[in-house]
Amino acid sequence: MSEQTHVISLENATIFQRHTLVLQNVNVQIAEGEFVYLIGKTGSGKSSLLKVLYGDLPIKEGTGNIVGFDIAKLKSKEVPKLRRNLGIVFQDFQLLTDRTVKDNLLFVLKATGWVEKAKMQERIDEVLTLVGLQTKGFKMPFELSGGEQQRIVIARALLNHPSVILADEPTGNLDPETSDEILKLLQQICKESNTAILMATHDYSILEKYPSRIIKCENGKIVDSKSPASAPAIA
């Protein structure tokens, strides 16, 4: 795996939440098209690591790069541009409840610089088809099941052809069967679109059903299953 394929790279990074040290000496490289789980107890640093990657927290020491952005030197005015190059999937959906599925997606496209109506409609149709909801564009979010809402969130994350999707507990509010469907969808996107996915989860049954590389936050450090000598226990 060559260095050129890395879409996420952190080297000797130190992460604080305000004045509290959360993670130190973080060394992580994730290649394009790679699916990686991020696990750890509540408060272990999973969300902080994701926040660093989408520009919500700085790294105090070390270096970091995601989709070509130097996150150690990232200025606040550059954060929106960084996020346009990422797909971000949250546990609590964060859909706009006062507008249809199509208008939710249209809002994001307009906010990220799309202007041509025909191209916007074409992209909306494409992402809804990718997540299997091509007939639901006229629905309001409250008319959809939890699993369908999360599929819309994934569709939203795909709009700008991201190289990386950061998913923070995307199955956290879903029943086991729906969680399986969302996981299969994410893995399909990863494989077919060559999109790297870093997915934080508490659901260790998913890790056993759909094994992949695991990064664990533990005792202020990162333990990576990619390193055989330090493979994390998932229990």
Segment 193-232, tens digit of pLDDT: 999 999 999 888 899 999 999 999 999 999 988 754 444 5
Residue 22 lies in a domain: no
Asked if residue 63 is part of any domain, the answer here is: no
Reported as a single tens digit per residue, the pLDDT across 147-186 is: 999 999 999 999 999 999 999 999 888 888 999 999 999 9
> What is the token pair recorded at 101?
């599925």
Asked, for residue 61, whether it belongs to a domain, the answer is: no
Place of tokens 């074409």: 122
Note whether residue 162 is domain-resident: yes
Global pTM value? 0.89
CATH of the domain at 192: 3.40.50.300
pLDDT higher for 13 or 84?
13
In the chain, the percentage of residues whose pLDDT exceeds 70 is 94
Distance CA 1, CA 190 (A): 17
Distance CA 74, CA 68 (A): 11
Given a cut of 50, whether residue 2 has pLDDT beyond it is no
Sign of CA dihedral 123, 128, 134, 136: negative
Is there a domain that residue 67 lies in?
no
Q: In this structure, is residue 209 part of a structural domain?
A: yes
What Rg, from alpha-carbon coordinates, does the chain have? 18
For residue 165, give its domain range: 35-55+75-230
Closest CA to 154 of 176, 180, 177, 133: 133
The set of long-range contacts for 130-133, using a CB threshold of 8 Å and a minimum separation of 24, is: 130/155, 130/158, 130/189, 131/155, 131/158, 131/185, 132/185, 133/101
CB 65 within 8 A of CB 73: no
In a domain, 27, yes or no: no
Cα maximum dimension of the chain: 53
Q: Yes or no: say if 212 and 35 are a contact pair by the CB < 8 Å rule.
A: yes
State how many domains the chain has.
Answer: 1
**Amino acid letter for position 136:** K
